[in-house]
């Protein structure tokens, strides 16, 4: 699934429930941060080693995956509302990063 397909799915889900009126750019940006906070709750007070151990539990891993998905869904909706093509934006940003941080010897 690429970003365009994901965008189509989440916008269809949203519009079928008449939630577009709530999806202003500011509300979507805030919602993405709220969901990121929910992701951080799973990591709070744990070391990296403890986090990696915790996600060996399938239920815990799914809970963490759900929060990552929530963040991505809100960012896809935000990009949709702003008219940003995420496939283009991510590809362009990766190329910028490659130019900014060339491999040694390049």
Residue burial 40-67, b: 16+ Cβ < 10 Å; e: rest: eebeeeeeeeeeeeebeeeeeeebbeeb
C-alpha closest to that of 81 among 19, 23, 38, 32: 23
- CB 67 → Mg ion: shortest distance, Å? 5
Work out which of 29, 36, 38, 55 binds Mg ion, going by CB under 5 A: 38
- Judged by CB, which is closer to Mg ion: 70, or 81? 70
- Judged by CB, which is closer to Mg ion: 68, or 89? 68
Binding mask 65-104 for Mg ion (x = CB under 5 A): --x--x----------------------------------
d(CA 41, CA 92): 32
Residue 63 binds Mg ion (CB under 5 A): no
3-state secondary structure (DSSP) of residue 26: helix
Q: Which residues contact Mg ion by CB under 5 A? A: 35, 38, 67, 70
């Amino acid at each position: 699934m690429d970003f365009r397909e994901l965008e189509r799915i989440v916008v269809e889900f949203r519009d079928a429930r008449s939630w577009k009126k709530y999806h202003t750019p500011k509300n979507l940006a805030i919602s993405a941060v709220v969901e990121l906070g929910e992701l951080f709750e799973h990591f709070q007070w744990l070391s990296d080693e403890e986090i990696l151990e915790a996600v060996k539990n399938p239920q815990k891993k799914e809970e963490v995956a759900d929060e990552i998905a929530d963040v991505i869904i809100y960012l896809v909706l935000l990009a949709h509302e702003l008219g940003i093509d995420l496939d283009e934006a991510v590809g362009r940003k990766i190329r910028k990063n490659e130019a900014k941080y060339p491999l040694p010897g390049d």
